[in-house]
Amino acid sequence: MVDAFIRVHVPPYVVRGVLCLLIFFEAAAQEPSQPAPGSIPLAEKVFPQLAPLLQKAIEQSPRGMAANLEFLIARENVQMARARTLPQAGGYLTYSYARDRRVDRPDALLADRALKAGTQLSEMAARASENNFAEVCRLLVLEIRASYLRLIVLKASKERAAYAFRLAEEEERRVQDQIKAGSLPPATILEAGNKVKQARLDLDRAEEEFRFAKVSVERLAGSDAIPDEAIPLLIPRVDYSEEQIQLLAGLFRSDPEKGNYRLASTQLRLDQERLNYQIIDKTLRPKFNAVTGVMQDEVSYTGSPADRARTQSLYGGLNITWNIFDGFSTPAQRRASRLRQRQLEEERDDRRREISEAVQSQMRQINFSARSMALSESNLDQYNLFVKKKADDIAFGASAPSELDGITIARDAVLIQAMIQRSDLMVRMAEFLSTIGRDPALASVLPTLP
């Protein structure tokens, strides 16, 4: 009886559906394996083709290049500030420095310490630009990771929509054949036609969403066009290690400023203001300049060109500049600088609390996402069993082959939902690593962490 059923008729759309299912599973088997248990599954570890996109984004994306130019300009400003502390050479050579003496110290102090403080101020501004560049790259890397994972999900959705459209077309042709044979009323074709139109609409929408998402990834990364076939079709299951997350969180609490560029930038602004206070504090101090030189010339005392004598002159001098009173401007600037320092200290402390709370919230969100993913995986396992059982029933003649289509489409929808949950967990863990300054994609942004 089983043999007779199999020999009777197997519709071609069922054969294509089964082949599509087999191809889908084969593509899933070819996906890169996930990282070793206990590690953090970043997207570029699961999909190595993403790593060069992230590196290129840091180097060549419009957003990264703009931030990098700002950093390079700040480095040149350091050189300009440092030049004020060096001798100046022109038509003549001069080198000058001044010394002032404080009654509370036995040694003399160089008055050009204000210039040195100005140089250090520019160096801190460069470091702040450096941190700003790193912060831009940090956010850019997070955005590209999330966009790339979404692109994979959209590709799977597009493939599912294309499969559903092919099935709808096969169903419409089957209905037409049955109407011609007189087994179905002519009105039946309307419902089948509407299903084809709806499936076509879903496919067009899925293709446009995929196209636009791919263009967005290319623009963010500053890369050339990414071939469709280079984009994976499946996000594999994600290994989640709560112990690893707790360990990294503990390391962050021991030194919250290490690697966190926002917090480091706040501390740099405070250090800049402290240096600015040193510059203001020396405004009313006397400044001494000692000048010495030698000059050689030829002169004639008789007016005769033949009667010329060589004359050599040595000269020296001392120049004292002392701005004794400036209308109480300097004391006011000192007080304002002290107030700004207090304001920045409060901002730094608030930023520390804010980042600490953000890390705690991110850890909770990772846990929520992992639990949600576990539910999706359980649901997917159930649907995979349904598909396998239905395929076995068809093989033994217990079910019609067409029954496999509906359950396959439903299973693919559950699979896409599971991929969304896997992607969400990967994105949240990447955000956690980025916040605590342990994102490996940023290793090339700065030579050293702040």
Once rounded to an integer, what is the mean pLDDT over residues 291-306? 64
Stronger pLDDT, 272 or 301, i.e. the higher one? 272
Residue 226: its pLDDT value, please? Answer: 92
Stronger pLDDT, 442 or 217, i.e. the higher one? 217
Stronger pLDDT, 170 or 116, i.e. the higher one? 170
Domain span at residue 18 reads 2-298+311-442
Tokens of 90: 């022109």
Residue 81: its pLDDT value, please? Answer: 53
Q: Is residue 268 part of a domain?
A: yes
Average per-residue pLDDT for the chain = 76
The predicted-structure confidence for 136-149, as pLDDT tens digits, reads as follows 888 889 999 999 99
User: What are the distances in angstroms from CA 162 to CA 46, 148, 153, 165?
Assistant: 26, 21, 14, 5
Once rounded to an integer, what is the mean pLDDT over residues 70-95? 49
Q: Is residue 449 part of a domain?
A: no
Q: Is residue 282 part of a domain?
A: yes
The predicted-structure confidence for 193-214, as pLDDT tens digits, reads as follows 999 999 999 999 999 999 999 9
Q: Is residue 447 part of a domain?
A: no
Tokens of 333: 């600037």
Q: Is residue 303 part of a domain?
A: no
Structural domain count, the chain: 1
Identify the top-confidence range among 104-108, 318-322, 380-384. 380-384
Q: Is residue 18 part of a domain?
A: yes
Q: Would you tell me the crossing angle of helices 188-221 and 113-181 to the nearest 10 degrees?
A: 160
Pairwise CA distance, residues 101 & 114, whole Å: 15
The helix/strand/coil state of 292 is strand
Residue 168: its pLDDT value, please? Answer: 93
Residue 109: its pLDDT value, please? Answer: 40
Cβ partners under 8 Å of residue 401, min gap 6: 10, 11, 14, 394
The predicted-structure confidence for 364-396, as pLDDT tens digits, reads as follows 999 999 999 999 999 999 999 999 998 888 888
Q: Is residue 28 part of a domain?
A: yes
Q: DSSP for 21-40, please give it.
A: HHHHHHHHHTSPPPPPTTS-
Position 20 pLDDT exceeds 70: no
The predicted-structure confidence for 242-297, as pLDDT tens digits, reads as follows 888 999 988 888 877 776 767 777 777 788 788 777 777 777 677 777 777 776 66
Once rounded to an integer, what is the mean pLDDT over residues 432-437? 89
- Measured in whole angstroms, the distance separating CA 346 from the mean position of its chain's CA atoms is 28
Q: Is residue 351 part of a domain?
A: yes
Beta-bridge partner residues of 231: none
The predicted-structure confidence for 25-59, as pLDDT tens digits, reads as follows 444 434 444 544 446 889 999 999 999 888 888 87
Q: Tell me the pLDDT band of 23, cut-offs 50, 70 and 90.
A: very low
Residue 252: its pLDDT value, please? Answer: 85
**In the chain, helix, strand, coil percent, each to 5?**
70, 10, 25
Tokens of 243: 């112990």
Give the least confident one: 165-169, 377-381, 401-405, 430-434. 401-405
Once rounded to an integer, what is the mean pLDDT over residues 215-233? 91
Position 122 pLDDT exceeds 70: no
Residue 347: its pLDDT value, please? Answer: 84
Give the least confident one: 171-180, 323-332, 387-396. 323-332
Locus of tokens 């994600």: 238
Residue 104: its pLDDT value, please? Answer: 40
Stronger pLDDT, 251 or 22, i.e. the higher one? 251
Residue 319: its pLDDT value, please? Answer: 75
Q: Tell me the pLDDT band of 423, cut-offs 50, 70 and 90.
A: very high
Residue 306: its pLDDT value, please? Answer: 59
Position 169 pLDDT exceeds 90: yes
Pairwise CA distance, residues 134 & 119, whole Å: 23
Share of residues in the chain with pLDDT > 70 (%): 68
Tokens of 253: 């609490």
The CATH number for 41's domain is 1.20.1600.10
Tokens of 42: 């970043």
